[in-house]
Amino acid sequence: MTTVSRPADRAQALVRLLRERIVIIDGAMGTMIQAQRLGDADFRGERFRDHPRDLKGNNDLLALTQPALIESFHRQYFEAGADIVETNTFNSNAVSLADYGMEALVYEINLAAARLARQAADAVAGKEKRPTWVAGSLGPTSRTASMSRDVGDPGARQVTFDQLVASYYEQARGLLDGGVDLLLPETAFDTLNLKAALFAIQKLFADQGRTVPILASITFTQVGNDRMLTGQTVEACWNSIAHAPLLGVGINCSLGPEDMGPHLDELQRIAPLFVSCYPNAGLPDPLLPTGFPATPSDMAPVLGEWAKNGWLNIVGGCCGTTPEHIRAIADAVRGAAPRVPAKVEPYTRLSGWDALTLRPDTNFVNVGERTNVTGSPRFSKLVLAGDYEQAVAVARQQVTSGAQILDVNMDEGMLDSEAAMVRFLNLIAAEPDIAPVPVMIDSSKWSVIEAGLKCLQGKGIVNSISLKEGEAAFRERAKAPRASTARSRSARAPTRSSPRRWASHPRTSSSTPTS
């Protein structure tokens, strides 16, 4: 095989290799950089000598100021046996770079970093006569779209879906132009941030008329907790992103292999595509030189065991791992057959914090309808009066009384319906009694539906899309929920001739959403 080939050929070659054997991805970049003990002046280089903010620790800037160093790390990982290396761009998005006052450099840093990884990949491919790939790393950003960081206001958000989309779009554009073979949104602790990344990538692909394979990787940050930081289980998260055209899905970083095992097993059982895993070298310990305790000989046997279990398609290391770890991991999984993607039934799969699967034998599904201003005079009065605390209490009462899905409708002439939808969804997203169930967004106004979709971490339902503005607009809009994950339940006729189907039910109502 030619070693330096067109992107489409490289994508196909990767798929072939994934069917043949377990593919190796590299280890940590941060650990390699940390070992250099660089000072502020090293990060600044000549160009940023007078930058007004502290730049020590701005690892991604090294693509511009210490390019040879970054390229040498990529080469070391390839030489240790990695098939794929990740670009040094984990924080190179406008949201995170704003902390250094460098948000204007997003495109430039990603372009430069991707080119460095590409150079290393092509050099090693030529020398060792084997294919090599570059994955563009897109981190979770320093902010979370589905949780409040303001103790006084659970509905507050530091960042919106639209801001994240714009930020990821620019990053992905730089990575693609720099020649990456894959895009890898990783270390996702908030599925809404991840959905924004996937939405941005798909928009970029559509705008530019080109694609590369996408891998998505999530993380768990609390020991022994089967939920991600923002509340979702593995299956709920998978349901939220399963619509995206992914080559693979996986888990990375987290708290080392021990804690990750059960999550990975669950994911590999339900994901009908390739599965990746690259854990940290154990639990973080700031007193250790690399910050992490697990040595190559600690980690490799665990991953080797998972390979033998048939859980893995792509494996490597995250924080605290080095080329020595990657060499040991590659040795440990050599000869093990790659995982065969799971076969799954084509059921309707929704989620809030928890997954909700509608199977043929599922009985009627209860949809809580009291959080609907057109159907509940009491809820309407509360929202109009701005009493969101009591409005949230209505939602809580619906779920604790058995609603499996929560219908939310803010279509009221006296109300800023978009703002009310966003406020209410953001508030219930933080409620442990309410957030586990999927949301059904209900509005005759497209702008309200869209505003609602941008708040949902889970996979919700769009109650209906109006045909009032004609079939073409309807079709366009019917695609949008899919891009940001929700299902359309049905089309609503232009003149709403049928009575509101669920409004007459006293507490909850029943419906079988279409799949």
Q: Would you tell me which residues interact with Zn ion (CB under 5 A)? A: 253, 280, 318-319
279 vs 368, beta carbon nearer Zn ion: 279
Q: How far apart are CB 216 and Zn ion at their closest, in Å? A: 15
CB 373 within 8 A of CB 380: yes
Query: Are 55 and 100 a contacting pair, CB within 8 Å?
Result: yes
**Helix or strand holding residue 366 (H, E):** strand 365-368
Least Å distance, CB 87 to Zn ion, is 15
Q: What are phi and psi of 386, to 5 degrees?
A: 75, 15
Nearer to Zn ion, 192 or 260 (CB): 260
Is 277 or 422 the residue whose CB approaches Zn ion more closely?
277
CB of 222 to Zn ion, least distance (A): 15
Helix (H) or strand (E) holding 358, with range, is strand 355-358
- Beta strand 355-358 with 348-351: parallel, antiparallel or unpaired? antiparallel
Residue with Cβ nearer Zn ion (234 or 319): 319
Minimum CB separation from Zn ion for residue 387, in Å? 43
Q: How far is residue 91 from each of residues 72, 142, 186, measured CA to CA in Å?
A: 20, 8, 11
439: which strand partners?
Answer: 406
Torsion of CA 172, 239, 225, 284, to 10 degrees: -20
User: Do 172 and 206 touch, CB atoms closer than 8 A?
Assistant: no
Q: β-strands 355-358, 182-185: how paired?
A: unpaired
Q: Whose Cβ is closer to Zn ion: residue 314's or residue 451's?
A: 314
Q: Exposed e or buried b for every residue in 33-64, given b needs 16+ CB within 10 A?
A: bbeeebeeebbbeeebeebeeebeebbbbbbb
Q: Could you tell me the smallest distance in angstroms from the CB atom of residue 423 to Zn ion?
A: 34
- In the complex with Zn ion, the residue whose CB is nearer, 121 or 319, is 319
Minimum distance of Zn ion from residue 279's CB (angstroms): 8
**What minimum distance in Å lies between the beta carbon of 341 and Zn ion?**
25
Q: How far is the CB of 213 from Zn ion (least distance, A)?
A: 22
Among 489, 447, 439, which residue's Cα sits nearest to residue 146? 439
Q: How many other β-carbons are positioned within 10 Å of the β-carbon of residue 349?
A: 23
Q: Is the backbone of residue 270 left (phi > 0), alpha (psi -120 to 50) or beta? A: alpha
Shortest gap between Cβ of 280 and Zn ion (angstroms)?
5
Residues 6+ positions from 303 with CB-CB distance below 8 Å: 257, 277, 279, 312, 315, 329, 332, 333
Please say which residue, 154 or 284, places its beta carbon nearer to Zn ion: 284
CB closer to Zn ion, 113 vs 318: 318
109/171 Cα distance (integer angstroms): 9
Shortest distance, position 128 Cβ to Zn ion, whole Å: 27
131 vs 320, which CB is nearer to Zn ion?
320
> With respect to Zn ion, which residue has the nearer C-beta, 236 or 319?
319
CB contact burial 71-87 (16+ within 10 A = b; e otherwise): bebbbbbbebbbbbbbb
